[in-house]
Amino acid sequence: MWIMTNKGFYSIVRKPWDREARTLTVRARRLDDLNNFLEAADRLSEHIEKDTSADYTYRVQIEESVVGITVLKMLTGITYDNFKNSVSDAGRLDHARAYANVWHEMRSIQEKPKLELDMPTAARKTLQSSWDAASEWFEEGLPSDCAECGGDGEVHVRNGIDPPEWVECRTCNVPPSAEDDGGLQTPPPLEKKEKRNAGFSG
């Protein structure tokens, strides 16, 4: 199980040695991430194994019941209404960039809206064509003259947003009124041509 929080990124698995002991192995790529987990679990005295040749450098073996309670505490302790912003607000900008990449990749597997089956064929084809064109526009991102990152797709603060919000380059021109997750205001096909001609920057 992967768990992404504003305190760290964790991979929790049950290794062969965990089975009889009824424990779980909590792994992290950064030491401070794992220390944050142990602090939440009230287990700062636990021995952390370090292996630079392993996929995850740091790991610790903890009773499964303690892991469950710790994850539950993380869930019930949520106070933010925007996860990505909470990560950058916590000063964990490396995590914010990595999480933004995961967000984008997971968005690529999101199902497209299904058109009503009883809709006339011509209307259904028109709507599907508009959706495909809009999706293509979104995937191409902004022009290469983006003022924030030069079109490299890096995460940066979106202009005109108060408080600042760390976002991907491809979304930096979404108006402040747009919803954050899944509510990006995808323009119609004509908008694609107009924006390119305008040569605006984020």
Please tell me whether residues 39 and 98 are part of one structural domain.
no
- List pLDDT tens digits, range 90-119: 999 999 999 999 999 998 888 876 655 556
CA distances from 155 to 2, 150, 198 (A): 22, 11, 23
Domain that holds residue 139: 83-198
- CA–CA distances in Å: residue 178 to residues 10, 152, 174, 184, 185: 31, 23, 7, 6, 6
Query: How many domains is the chain partitioned into structurally?
Result: 2
Output the pLDDT for position 110. 87
Are 189 and 134 in contact by the 8 Å Cβ rule? The answer is yes
69 shares a domain with 18: yes
Asked which of 37, 53, 76 is the last residue of a domain, the reply is 76
pLDDT-based confidence at residue 68 (cuts at 50, 70, 90): very high
Q: What is the mean pLDDT of the chain?
A: 75
User: Which pLDDT does position 108 carry in this prediction?
Assistant: 87
Same domain for 6 and 68?
Answer: yes
**Same structural domain, 121 and 93:** yes
- 91 shares a domain with 120: yes
Q: Are residues 137 and 167 in the same domain?
A: yes
Q: Centre a 10 Å sphere on the Cβ of residue 67 and count the other Cβ atoms it contains.
A: 22
- Rounded to whole angstroms, the Cα distance separating 159 from 171 reads 11
The answer on 100 and 39 residing in a single domain is: no
60 and 121 inside one domain: no
Cα(first)–Cα(last) distance of the chain, in Å? 36
11 has which bridge partners?
2, 27
Q: Is the dihedral of CA 56, 80, 65, 62 positive or negative?
A: positive
Kindly state whether residues 90 and 185 are assigned to the same domain: yes
For the chain, percent of residues with pLDDT exceeding 90: 51
- Boundary of a domain, candidates 28, 57, 76: 76
Give the pLDDT of residue 130. Answer: 66
Same domain for 115 and 41?
Answer: no
pLDDT of residue 47: 94
State how far the Cα of 147 lies from the Cα of 200, in Å rounded to an integer: 9
